[in-house]
Every structure is written in structure tokens, then in C-alpha cells.
A and B are shown apart, each in its own frame.
Chain A
Amino acid sequence: DMKVTQMPRYLIKRMGENVLLECGQDMSHETMYWYRQDPGLGLQLIYISYDVDSNSEGDIPKGYRVSRKKREHFSLILDSAKTNQTSVYFCASSPDRVGVFFGKGTRLTVV
């Protein structure tokens, strides 16, 4: 059973704190993604990773950075979190850059 695992599922941080969101997949997929979803809206692509240390900006990369040191792990980092980064963050992976499988999401609140 293919699985994308996100940790933590819920997180509350103060403005200015650093935030680390972790994502893992057990399918050896090359491509992984980070999206954010705001209430009632679609998913916006933050970063895409084509493999280890091969990352590319998505549509809204500002305020975020990513790290992929192993194929099965893809981290999203917020240095000095802002209140407008309160959102639900979805990690996803794809074996072929076509079919995309999403994790359960991390609900981040920045206060």
C-alpha cells in the first residue's frame, strides 16, 4: 500500500520561530512536492524535488526552503514563520511526474 507520511499532523508556532515539516514516502518515488492549501482554495505549489539535492521553486517559494538528502524524505523549512504562513501543507510524491499521491497534510498555525 503506497504511503506518503507527514509529521507532525498539527503544529502551533509563534511568529518568528523556525518550523520544520517532514515528509516521507516508502515507494522510492523520484519526484516529491510541497503544496499549501488555504481554506476554500486550491493547492499552490511551493517546491518540487526531482531527486536528492535536485529541487526547484514552485509558484510560491518565498519564505520557504526545502531539503532532500534522501530519496524517501523531503523537508519543508520555514525560517522565521509569519502569520500568513498559517495553512495546511501537503506533501506529495510521484513515480512518473504524472500520478501524484498526497500525504494527510500538516495543519500549521502561526500565532
Chain B
Amino acid sequence: GEQVEQLPSILRVQEGSSASINCTYENSASNYFPWYKQEPGENPKLIIDIRSNMERKQTQGLIVLLDKKAKRFSLHITDTQPGDSAMYFCAVTNTGKLTFGDGTVLTVKP
């Protein structure tokens, strides 16, 4: 099946700075790349996604970049706030099977 590598596994940043998480995948047929945020004890919630026909997408302080040639995509959180502290997962899908990275624990220090 698909393999997704997500780095870093732990990320600590200062409030107001930006945070970046990177994911790589193996199957060039993958066509949808969502990002999920999961707070402790909660379910993962979709925060932003990008399809394979796009290279960049931005919404409310979140930017996703997709490099299909390199099979790499990334999440950038600008102007981080303490409320952004959570676990973040990238995922990859084709044919409906969603494969997740192992997650990044983001801590935003006040």
C-alpha cells in the first residue's frame, strides 16, 4: 500500500512565528492530500486540503504546497498562536483509501 512519511514528529515554535510540516508519498497516482488537526482526546478534523491539479492553496493562515514531481507536500502555519498547538496529520489518497502520516506534535510557546 501507500507509504507516507511525515516530518518532523515534534515541532516547537514561538508564538507569532511560522511552522512547517513536510510529507512525502510513494504512489504517483495519489490525487488528494488533506491535512488534519487533532486535539487531545478529540477526533481528527480536516483543516485544509489540496488536489493534484493544484500546486498551492491558502486559507486562514494555512498554506499547503504540493510538488508532484518530488511527491512531496507541506503545511505552513503562519503567525502561530497557542491555539494551534495540536497533533497534525497529513494524508494521501487515491481510490478512496486514505493513508496517514505518523503525525507532528506542534507546540506553540507563548
Q: Do A and B come from one complex?
A: yes
Task: List A residues at the B interface (Cβ < 8 Å).
Answer: 31, 33, 40-45, 48, 50, 58-59, 90, 94, 97-105
Q: Is the CB of A97 within 8 A of B43?
A: no
Q: Tell me whether A42 and B100 are in contact in the complex, defined as CB-CB below 8 angstroms, given that A98-B32, A104-B42 are known contacts.
A: yes
What's the tally of chain B residues with a CB closer than 8 Å to chain A?
22
Binding site of B, secondary structure by majority: helix, strand, loop or mixed?
strand
Count of A-B contacts judged by CB separation below 8 Å:
49
B53 at the interface (CB under 8 A from A): no
In-complex Cβ contact of B89 among A42, A45, A99 (8 A):
A42
- Rounded to whole angstroms, the CA-CA distance of A28 and B4 in the bound complex is 30
A-contacting 9-mer, from B14-22, B65-73, B91-99? B91-99
Question: Please, could you name 8 A-B residue pairs with CB atoms under 8 Å apart, sorted by A?
Answer: A41-B102, A42-B6, A42-B103, A44-B100, A45-B98, A90-B44, A97-B93, A99-B46
